[in-house]
Amino acid sequence: MKIFTQHPASVGENYLQHLGTSLSFALPLLGACLACLVHAVLPFMFEKTGSRIITRLHDRMVTHRDRRAGRQTQSPHAAQ
């Protein structure tokens, strides 16, 4: 069972916490994907939706990379 817990432990999470965190990225990414697909066919729709979602998720990932105390970093987009 170590294969299911090794990586989550390396970022300060247990398996279920890691599952929840991963899904909280996967579902918005799915939405961004769908918005980009619609935008490809209808370029006047969802002009900035995909990139906005990706930027938000990137900032969240960078600033919350590790759940352990004192491991948060400054987002590169925080000052913008």
At 28-42, the pLDDT tens digits run 999 999 999 999 999
Task: Decide if 58 is inside a domain.
Answer: yes
Number of structural domains in the chain: 1
Task: Decide if 27 is inside a domain.
Answer: yes
Question: In the predicted model, what is the mean pLDDT of the chain?
Answer: 88
By C-alpha distance, which of 4, 26, 56 is closest to 13? Answer: 4
Task: Decide if 54 is inside a domain.
Answer: yes
Residue 43's pLDDT is: 98
Task: Decide if 80 is inside a domain.
Answer: no
Measure the CA angle with vertex 12, ends 19 and 28; round to 5°.
Answer: 35
Residue 74 Ramachandran class (φ > 0 left, ψ -120 to 50 alpha, else beta) = beta
The contacts of residue 70 (CB under 8 Å, 6+ apart) are: none
Domain that holds residue 10: 2-63
Residue 1's pLDDT is: 80
Task: Decide if 56 is inside a domain.
Answer: yes
Task: Decide if 76 is inside a domain.
Answer: no
